[in-house]
């Protein structure tokens, strides 16, 4: 039962309460043999107690102190032999960790804890066993647990139940506190903790290992920053971006976004000699589809063409709706031959696509213009050229590709 960790000995003060708790003290006596003795406390404090033992122990001697009737225990050491108390000896005992969980008492705060309680961020400390030894007011606001409910609990035992954005539990695998104590390095990540009332709270977490005076890792501290407001702002920004750059019917990038990406591609073409190509698609006889089957079917056809084009490009290529029944593809690292092959593959895939209508299906073809980007191009000249090539395909009867 004896602790083997070096012991820190800061001078720490808190209220002292005269109360008798049954405890078990275990360690090694002066003769080198192990002992275990039961006694009761005379005075308890946040970081230790005063009690009487029958045997003689020396200042600095390490022991393990356990409250009888519970599983709570803590490494401790003899601070001083206070006086002879027949039939034994009275000792002052100091613990490395807070004894509030051991005694079930909340002691008055030190200056530093009062300072931590003024912080907007939640802060809590754990020992090597991930048992919480300190819990500030902001942590209570974030998680709903009071210090009395949190101190003494292990953070991994159905308490905060940290998960990442995929829902993966971090308590058993990926705990930032455990990783910080193992590596000795700080950790920073975005997670979700479980509030006392059951709902999930998004928090930005920073974890730092804590060391004792001998330089050994004795625990860790976790800072919790409420990310709810930031998440709402990010969601709203995402919504605004979707409104600004996303076509509402097909969910593809819109004309504004495509123009911006063509400008960026031309800059890369000029600076790094990277090769890009443009494909412009126009659905043949689309007005006839609308007039014959109605706008709902027309919209379904556009979404089918959009999905066919989007799902059959490389991840780095950009597919968007240029407007009406026109679509644009910006593809990278291609020459004129590869661009022509890509256009033909897309043309065939669109022909093979169709939209169900009662007992039949509606299918369409596309006219395509294809052109490589040149470092002398402007956005306007490149788009005008690919548009003219596409219309050349339409004038030639549609369902074909013109490259230029």
Under the banding of pLDDT at 50, 70 and 90, the label for residue 83 is low
Listed in sequence order, the residues at least 6 apart from 36 whose beta carbon sits closer than 8 Å to its beta carbon are 1, 24, 25, 26
Contact between residue 377 and residue 292 where contact means Cβ atoms under 8 Å apart: no
For range 204-211, the mean pLDDT: 91
The reply to whether omega before 379 is within 30° of 0 (cis) is no
Supply the pLDDT for residue 87: 67
Residue 236 has pLDDT above 80, yes or no: no
Ranking 14-18, 204-208, 328-332 by mean pLDDT, the lowest is: 14-18
319/313 Cα distance (integer angstroms):
8
pLDDT digits (tens, 9 = 90+) for 332-351: 999 999 999 999 999 999 99
Ranking 179-183, 218-222, 242-246 by mean pLDDT, the lowest is: 242-246
Contact between residue 199 and residue 96 where contact means Cβ atoms under 8 Å apart: no
* CA distance to 45, 60, 113, 136, 258, per residue, from 108 (Å): 10, 26, 9, 13, 63
Predicted TM-score (pTM) of this structure: 0.47
Supply the pLDDT for residue 13: 52
Three-state SS at 262: helix
Residue 156 has pLDDT above 70, yes or no: yes
């Amino acid at each position: 039962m004896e602790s083997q960790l070096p012991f820190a000995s800061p001078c720490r003060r808190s209220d002292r309460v005269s109360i008798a708790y049954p405890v078990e003290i275990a360690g090694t006596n002066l003769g080198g043999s192990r002992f275990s003795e039961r006694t009761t406390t005379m005075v308890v404090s946040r970081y230790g107690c005063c009690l009487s033992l029958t045997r003689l122990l020396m200042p600095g001697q390490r022991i393990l102190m356990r409250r009888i009737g519970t599983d709570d225990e803590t490494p401790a050491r003899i601070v001083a032999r206070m006086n002879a108390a027949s039939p034994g000896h009275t000792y002052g005992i100091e613990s490395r960790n807070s004894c509030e969980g051991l005694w079930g008492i909340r002691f008055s705060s030190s200056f530093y804890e009062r300072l931590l309680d003024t912080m907007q961020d939640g802060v809590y400390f754990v020992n090597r066993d991930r048992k919480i030894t300190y819990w500030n007011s902001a942590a209570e606001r974030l998680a709903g647990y009071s210090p009395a409910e949190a101190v003494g609990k292990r953070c991994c035992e159905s308490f905060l139940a940290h998960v990442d954005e995929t829902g993966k539990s971090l308590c058993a695998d990926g705990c930032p506190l455990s990783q910080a104590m193992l590596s000795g390095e700080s950790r920073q990540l975005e997670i979700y903790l479980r509030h006392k009332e059951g709902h999930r709270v998004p928090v930005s977490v920073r974890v730092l290992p804590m060391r004792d005076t001998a330089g050994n890792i004795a625990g860790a501290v976790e800072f919790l920053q409420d990310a709810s407001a930031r998440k709402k702002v990010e969601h709203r920004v995402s919504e605004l971006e979707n409104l600004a750059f996303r076509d509402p019917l097909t969910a593809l990038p819109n004309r504004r976004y495509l123009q911006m990406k063509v400008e960026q591609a031309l800059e890369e073409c000029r600076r790094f000699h990277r090769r890009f190509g443009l494909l412009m698609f126009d659905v043949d006889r689309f007005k006839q589809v609308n007039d014959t089957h109605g706008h709902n079917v027309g919209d379904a056809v556009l979404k089918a063409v959009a999905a066919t084009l989007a799902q059959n490009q490389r991840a780095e290529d950009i597919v968007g709706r240029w407007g009406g029944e026109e679509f644009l593809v910006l593809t990278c690292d291609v020459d004129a031959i590869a661009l022509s092959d890509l256009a033909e593959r897309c043309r065939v895939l669109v022909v093979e696509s169709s939209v169900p209508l009662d007992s039949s299906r509606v299918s369409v073809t596309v006219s395509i213009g294809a052109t490589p980007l040149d470092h002398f191009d402007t956005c306007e000249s490149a788009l005008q050229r690919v548009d003219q090539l596409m219309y050349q395909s339409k004038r030639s009867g549609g369902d074909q590709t013109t490259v230029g």
